[in-house]
A = this chain, B = another copy of it.
Amino acid sequence: TPSDREGHSGTQSSHRLLAYSDALISIIATVMILPVAHTKLQGNDEELRQSVQLLLSTKIAVYLMTFLIVTVAWAAHIRLFQVIVRIDDCLALLNLACMMLITFLPYTFSLMATFPENILGILLFCGCVMVMGVIQSVIVVYAFSRPFLLNEQIQISENLTVYKHHILKVIMRVPLMCFLASIFSFILFQISYVLLAIVIFLPYISRSLKWCRSKAIGQVEETPDSILFYTFLPEEPLSKDRVEAFSDGVYAIVATLLILDICEDNVPDPTVVQKQFGGSLIAALQDYGPEYLAYFGSFATVGLLWFVHHSLFLHVTKATRFMSMLNTFSLAFVGGLPLAYQLTHEFPRNSRNELEAIQISCVIIFFAGIFQLAIWVVALYNEQETLHPYVRYGGREHVFMLAKLSLYPLVALGTFFLTCILSQFSASIFHLMEITVPFAFLVLRLLVRGGLAMLRLIFCPDR
């Protein structure tokens, strides 16, 4: 049996190594929202708009940059370990070294955002990426020297060396760009930022360049071997398991971020309770009421968005690069949820700030949901390849899945417009929404059946 062979020859299935890497990368991608949330808005009198501008300037930028770069690194990691499917101790240790460098990237972004004109942040970032490139190349060379570690499709192909060179070429592009960026940073640091931006969109740029060339010169046939891996085609499959594991990590850490703050900040000091509240703990805790509500609201929303994601990926048979990109956008918004919920309860009742915070929450929920819906639409577009037969357009579960996916965007949109009209009841509307949505999910199947039956009754009454 394969599990008998494992360990015996020192080689192992890479499954758990990848699960651990996914957990690490998803945590690192998401925790950078914490510094944003910890930025206390100075004084309730100031306009939220100003504070938000302050936040936007550096910390949100760091959060988004981290999320983007880390997911790019994660996609590269997936592609690498789709080629190398078995590992040994040496590869496991090299991978850990790589992970250590990835987790250090957010700090270099913090430096860049705080000191945009100082080149130290860029140099540190480029240094990390270059070392990562070297480690990845060592991993590739090591794995190709022991072909039993490789994907079977590559093992049986005759031109192993071609493959190796192709992969090394793709891997080394990013460190080379970073090397250029670090040199340019001494001359004109703005150019380095442009180069770093190019690094992120490199696959898309090279794709479109190739497309232009093929239109100009005529169709250029790629070698059939290199089409299987490292193609950067939008329909290139990324391991569905890993997309799920990464999403699970993000949803799990986001769901628990608020309880961490509550445990640290919302346990009153015994002396304060004695002095201000006459020793009554309940009275002291009533001050924190809205924050508990924020916690439960945020947990429920994140949990239900996970639930929708879970249902969606149950019906999907293959995750393509494009779907994974949409998934990343959805997760980036999910990461902003705890911040939005915290804002919602930081301002006095019926203030203009509270209204805006609630509307920001609605916008974030809307976008988190709409990108999930977009994954579904993209999956439907290639439904023969990406969906189980029973959920394809017109399939039994199709309408039900659509209802699940559109519930949050619709509710968020509705709440947004309701708070615009009935601004003095905005908090009550928002809380009502928080409480109803979980129950709506519980009875969704009944609702959909009832809705369909009614539609049928109206449009085809004779059937």
Contact = CB atoms under 8 A, between A and B. Distances in A.
Interface of A: 3-4, 6-8, 10, 12, 16-17, 19-20, 23-24, 27-28, 31-32, 34-35, 38, 89-90, 92-93, 96, 99-100, 103-104, 106-107, 110-111, 114-115, 118, 120, 244-245, 248-249, 251-253, 255-256, 259-260, 262-264, 266-268, 270, 273, 281-282, 285, 295-296, 299-300, 303-304, 306-307, 310-311, 313-315, 388-391, 396-397, 438, 441-442, 444-445
Given A16-B244, A32-B263, A438-B93, A296 B7 contact: no
A27 B303 contact: no
A457 to B, nearest CB: 24
21 contacts: A6-B388, A7-B315, A7-B390, A16-B310, A20-B310, A23-B248, A23-B253, A24-B252, A24-B256, A27-B252, A27-B253, A89-B311, A89-B444, A92-B310, A96-B300, A104-B295, A106-B259, A107-B262, A107-B267, A114-B268, A114-B270
A372 to B, nearest CB: 15
A107 B259 contact: yes
B93 A442 contact: yes
Given A7-B315, A17-B310, A100-B296, A28 B114 contact: no
A111 B263 CA distance: 9
B20 A264 contact: no
Given A3-B388, A28-B259, A115-B281, 16 more contacts: A8-B390, A16-B248, A17-B310, A20-B248, A23-B248, A23-B252, A24-B256, A34-B264, A35-B263, A90-B442, A92-B307, A96-B300, A96-B304, A100-B299, A104-B259, A106-B259
Contacts of A303: 96, 99-100
Copies of this subunit: 2
A307 B12 CA distance: 13
A315 B6 CA distance: 8
A424 B311 CA distance: 60
A74 to B, nearest CB: 13
Contacts of A295: 104
A335 to B, nearest CB: 14
A453 B260 CA distance: 52
Contacts of A20: 248, 251-252, 306, 310
A31 B256 contact: yes
Contacts of A282: 120
